């Protein structure tokens, strides 16, 4: 398999899910490095976003957080969000990024002791179950397996 | 007050455990308060409000034992530089203007930064490879702070942070590793590539963008969301243990293949440390690195390992200037640094070369 950018042998195979669509790219070691793919720390959020090829950009271009004034452009440039509300506003562009950046997209760590978040936590278990059923119905088994693992991990934590 | 504190640090040369390869373990948790914009978007008034809320939450806390609270504003350039060199605050925090603070525990193993990139950066560090202890203390401190303030939290995304790379657990676990064997055998690039694939990052001594002087590397997890704290720490710990094995293997091989050259290098390093009159920090780091390696090979007594660990910090520019008690020119700094190293290494015994082929 040849590299997407040059004619060298591709050794890095990048798979990203953007807007529910799977994008695959094969890169050689040096092109992968040049694009920061092998080093998540240097992986510029901006470059990754540019690879969403306009479809989200059209809608994302006008995104502004009313609470703190952060624009989509600010986020693209600096990679930082301004406040809690930004996470709701920029969620559509954030989700595909998080998938590439982290081990999963569901928080499986510590939960603050406040009761409100406990209720939310139980809610998220229910949500996961619903998503899992939908994934099975749609025969998206890759997604289903991922959701099943998340659910298992979540349920394990509640028993602790 | 700050100088008293630093002097107290200097004089408490208590015996901390110093082991081969792993210099220290650190855990950092990123947290933000609900209802305030993150520091980068906050106005002065909001930053000050966050600062006092956080400071209040931490006073009278057992976990922080007689802590010291400082506002970054009140610190001189030199004070800030010293805290960076001691790895207590980040270079970023040392640059901020107003409304940032530091809360330090008296044993200086806990340091909370306020209004850095996030409202709170809770850090716990300790010499050696001690993730279990360090996590326990960080977790405890975090829970106590949380009982006083409301954190920005989302049940799906976890703890919300200014940068999405810290989202979820907000956890960055890292170890400072001394890897001269891998560097000398030119295997470090391979190691960096391999661990990057596992979502683990390798940086220099002072974090992002710094070079790896003294063959010291900071190795940490990259991913913070989608796994529990325990899983993240276990994976990093497993990788680090593997790196320790690779490092030991590389050292053995260097000794087997060309032991004489290595012994010669180490002996020359000791020679320079004993008799230099002008020396820059980067050269000092590389020489100290060789002395630490010699200690691991049992060529020098154990105490030289903790001595080199202390020197790694005390030869940094800020520390040299602080000991002088007055501003000094860079060239004069090299003289003072050489003086310090001659004093500390003047009586280094002959290398014990038993068992070295």
Q: How far is B151 from chain A (nearest CA, A)?
A: 8
Instruction: Report pLDDT digits (tens) over B47-63.
Output: 999 999 999 888 867 66
Position A54 pLDDT exceeds 50: no
Look at residue B12 in the predicted model and tell me its pLDDT.
43
Provide ipTM, 2 decimals: 0.82
Look at residue A34 in the predicted model and tell me its pLDDT.
65
Position A53 pLDDT exceeds 60: no
Q: Which of A73-82, A117-126, B41-50 has the lowest mean pLDDT?
A: A117-126
- Relative to beta strand B110-114, strand B120-127 is antiparallel
Of B37, B164, B203, the CB nearest to A82: B37
Position B213 pLDDT exceeds 90: no
Among all chains, which residue has been given the structure tokens 């009586």?
Answer: B347
Look at residue B210 in the predicted model and tell me its pLDDT.
59
Instruction: Report pLDDT digits (tens) over A11-31.
Output: 776 665 554 445 567 777 777
Q: What is the number of alpha carbons within 13 Å of residue B28 lying toward its C-beta? A: 24
Tell me the average pLDDT across A36-56.
48
Angle at B212 between CA B128 and CA B125, to 5 degrees: 30
**DSSP states of B173-222 as a string?**
EEEEEE-HHHHHTT-HHHHHHHHHHTTEEEEBTTBTT---GGGEEEEEE-
pTM: 0.78
CB distance from A134 to chain B under 8 Å?
no
> Any residues with CB less than 8 A from the CB of B281 and at least 6 apart, and which?
B213, B315, B316, B317, B337
Tell me the average pLDDT across B188-215.
83
Question: B197 to chain A: nearest residue by CA?
Answer: A38
Position B35 pLDDT exceeds 80: yes
Of B150, B158, B165, the CB nearest to A107: B158
Position A44 pLDDT exceeds 50: no
Interface probe, candidates B165, B167, B226, chain A, greatest A C-beta count within 10 A: B226
Cα–Cα distance measured from residue B91 to residue A101, given in angstroms and rounded to the nearest whole number: 25
Tell me the average pLDDT across B121-128.
94
B142 and A120 within 8 Å at the Cβ level: the answer is no
Look at residue B4 in the predicted model and tell me its pLDDT.
60
pLDDT greater at residue B356 or residue B51: B51
Look at residue B190 in the predicted model and tell me its pLDDT.
92
Instruction: Report pLDDT digits (tens) over B67-89.
Output: 788 888 888 888 888 888 888 88
Look at residue A25 in the predicted model and tell me its pLDDT.
72
Look at residue B275 in the predicted model and tell me its pLDDT.
96
Q: Which of A28-32, A61-65, A67-71 has the lowest mean pLDDT?
A: A28-32
Look at residue B76 in the predicted model and tell me its pLDDT.
87
Instruction: Report pLDDT digits (tens) over B3-13.
Output: 665 655 544 44
Position B15 pLDDT exceeds 60: no
Q: How far is A120 from chain B (nearest CA, A)?
A: 6
Q: How far is A139 from chain B (nearest CA, A)?
A: 23
Of A70, A97, A109, the CB nearest to B168: A109
Angle at B143 between CA A120 and CA A80, to 5 degrees: 70
Position A56 pLDDT exceeds 60: no
Q: Dihedral of CA B72/B74/B77/B80: which sign?
A: negative
Look at residue A29 in the predicted model and tell me its pLDDT.
73
A103 and B226 within 8 Å at the Cβ level: the answer is yes
- The confidence band for A91, taking pLDDT boundaries of 50, 70 and 90, is very high
Cα–Cα distance measured from residue A117 to residue A123, given in angstroms and rounded to the nearest whole number: 9
Tokens of A36: 């920061």
Is the separation of the CB atoms in B212 and B275 below 8 Å? Answer: no
Angle at B135 between CA B132 and CA B140, to 5 degrees: 125
Is the separation of the CB atoms in B92 and B106 below 8 Å? Answer: no
Position B185 pLDDT exceeds 60: yes
Cα–Cα distance measured from residue B225 to residue B158, given in angstroms and rounded to the nearest whole number: 8
Q: How far is A138 from chain B (nearest CA, A)?
A: 23
CB distance from A121 to chain B under 8 Å?
yes
Q: What is the mean pLDDT of chain B?
A: 89
Interface probe, candidates B141, B147, B163, B165, chain A, greatest A C-beta count within 10 A: B165
Cα–Cα distance measured from residue B115 to residue B46, given in angstroms and rounded to the nearest whole number: 10
Tell me the average pLDDT across A68-90.
93
Q: How far is B202 from chain A (nearest CA, A)?
A: 9
For B13, list phi and psi in degrees, rounded to 5: -80, 50
Angle at B74 between CA B68 and CA B78, to 5 degrees: 95
Look at residue B5 in the predicted model and tell me its pLDDT.
59
A102 and B37 within 8 Å at the Cβ level: the answer is no
What's the Cα-to-Cα distance from B293 to each of B272, B303, B347, rounded to whole Å?
16, 13, 18
Tell me the average pLDDT across A58-62.
54
Instruction: Report pLDDT digits (tens) over B268-327.
Output: 999 999 999 999 999 999 999 999 999 999 999 999 999 999 999 999 999 999 899 888
> Any residues with CB less than 8 A from the CB of A6 and at least 6 apart, and which?
A28, A31
Diameter over CA atoms, chain A:
57
The DSSP secondary-structure symbol of B349 reads: P
Look at residue B106 in the predicted model and tell me its pLDDT.
82
């Amino acid at each position: 398999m040849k590299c997407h950018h040059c004619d060298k042998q591709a050794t890095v195979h990048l798979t990203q899910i953007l807007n529910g669509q799977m994008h695959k790219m094969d890169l050689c070691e040096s092109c992968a490095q040049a694009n920061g793919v092998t080093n998540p720390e240097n992986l510029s959020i901006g470059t990754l976003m540019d690879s969403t090829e306009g479809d989200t950009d059209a809608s994302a271009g006008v995104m502004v957080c009313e609470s703190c004034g952060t624009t989509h452009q600010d986020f693209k440039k600096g990679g930082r969000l301004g406040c809690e509300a930004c996470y709701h506003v920029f969620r559509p562009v954030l989700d595909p990024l998080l998938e590439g950046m982290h081990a999963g997209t569901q928080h499986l760590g510590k939960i603050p002791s406040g009761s409100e978040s406990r209720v939310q936590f139980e809610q998220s278990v229910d949500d996961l179950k619903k998503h899992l059923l939908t994934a099975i119905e749609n025969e998206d088994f890759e997604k289903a397996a991922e959701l099943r693992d998340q659910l298992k991990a979540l349920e394990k934590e509640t028993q602790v | 007050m700050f100088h008293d504190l630093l002097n107290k640090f200097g004089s408490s040369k208590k015996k901390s455990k110093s082991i081969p390869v792993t210099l220290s373990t650190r855990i950092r948790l990123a947290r933000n308060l609900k209802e305030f914009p993150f520091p980068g978007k906050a106005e002065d008034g909001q930053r000050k409000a966050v600062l006092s809320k956080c400071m209040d939450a931490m006073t009278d806390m057992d976990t922080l034992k007689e802590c010291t609270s400082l506002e970054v504003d009140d610190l001189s350039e030199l004070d800030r530089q010293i805290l960076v060199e001691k790895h207590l605050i980040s270079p970023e925090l040392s640059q901020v203007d107003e409304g940032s603070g530091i809360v330090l525990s008296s044993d200086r193993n806990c340091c909370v930064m306020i209004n850095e990139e996030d409202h709170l950066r809770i850090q716990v560090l300790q010499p050696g490879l001690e993730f279990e202890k360090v996590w326990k203390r960080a977790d405890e401190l975090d829970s106590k702070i949380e009982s006083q303030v409301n954190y920005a939290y989302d049940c799906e995304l976890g703890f919300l942070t200014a940068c999405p790379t810290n989202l979820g657990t907000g956890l960055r676990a890292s170890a400072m590793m001394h890897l001269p064997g891998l560097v000398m055998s030119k295997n470090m690039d391979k190691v960096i590539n391999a661990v990057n694939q596992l979502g683990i990052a390798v940086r220099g001594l002072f974090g992002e963008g710094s070079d790896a002087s003294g063959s010291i590397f900071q190795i940490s997890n990259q991913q913070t969301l989608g796994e529990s704290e325990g899983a993240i720490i276990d994976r990093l710990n497993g990788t680090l243990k593997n790196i320790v094995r690779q490092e030991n293997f590389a050292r053995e091989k260097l000794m087997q293949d060309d032991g004489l050259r290595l012994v010669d290098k180490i002996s020359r390093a000791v020679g320079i440390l004993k008799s230099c009159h002008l020396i820059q920090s980067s050269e000092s780091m590389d020489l100290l690195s060789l002395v630490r390696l010699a200690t691991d090979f049992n060529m020098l007594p154990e105490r030289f390992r903790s001595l080199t660990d202390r020197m790694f910090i005390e030869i940094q520019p800020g520390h040299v200037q602080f000991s002088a008690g007055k501003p000094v020119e860079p060239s004069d700094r090299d003289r003072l640094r050489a003086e310090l190293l001659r004093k500390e290494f003047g009586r280094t015994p002959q290398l014990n070369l038993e068992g070295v082929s």
